[in-house]
Amino acid sequence: MIKTTTILRLVSVLLIIYSILNILLGGLMLVELSLSGLLQQGGAMALLALSGFSIISNVLNLLVGVFGMMCAIKPGKAHTFFHLSIVALILSVLNLILTALQGGAMFQSVIITFAIAGCAFLAYSIKVQGLER
- List pLDDT tens digits, range 10-59: 999 999 999 999 889 888 877 877 777 666 666 566 667 777 777 888 89
pLDDT digits (tens, 9 = 90+) for 45-99: 666 777 777 788 889 999 999 999 999 888 888 889 999 999 999 988 988 888 7
**C-alpha of 88 from chain center:** 6
Cβ pair 117, 62 in contact under 8 A: no
Instruction: For the chain, count helices (H), then strands (E).
Output: 5, 0
